[in-house]
Amino acid sequence: MEYFVYLLQCADGTLYTGFTTDLKRREAVHNAGKGAKYTRSRLPVRMAYFERFETEHDARSREWHLKRLSHAEKVALIAKEEK
C-alpha cells in the first residue's frame, strides 16, 4: 500500500495539510464538503503538492513536520515542486 501526505490550496489561498492512501478520492471528498471541517468553508480546493511513502509511519511523521512549517515555507515547497 502507498501512503501520501498532501497540501491542498483552498479557494481563500490558505493551505491544508493531510494524509491519505488515495489522493484523487481524498480531493473529491474535500470538494464534496465531506472532508475536514477546515476545508468545508474554503471550497473549492485543489491538490497543490504531495509526497508518497511506503509506510504509514513515515507519512504521518512527514505530515506532522509539514504542519509545523510556515505558510511561506509551504508555498516555497509547492513552487519548488512545480518547476
For domain 3-82, give the fold.
Answer: GIY-YIG endonuclease (3.40.1440)
The tens place of each residue's pLDDT in the chain, 83 residues long, gives 999 999 999 999 999 999 999 999 999 999 999 999 999 999 999 999 999 999 999 999 999 999 999 999 999 999 987 76
Q: Would you give the distance in Å from CA 60 to the centre of its chain? A: 12
The bridge status of strand 3-10 relative to strand 45-53 is: antiparallel
Calpha distance 72→22 (Å, rounded): 26
Q: Which of these, 83, 57, 61, 67, lies nearest to 7 by C-alpha position?
A: 67
Beta strand spans in 1-83 (E): 3-10, 15-20, 45-53
The bridge status of strand 3-10 relative to strand 15-20 is: antiparallel
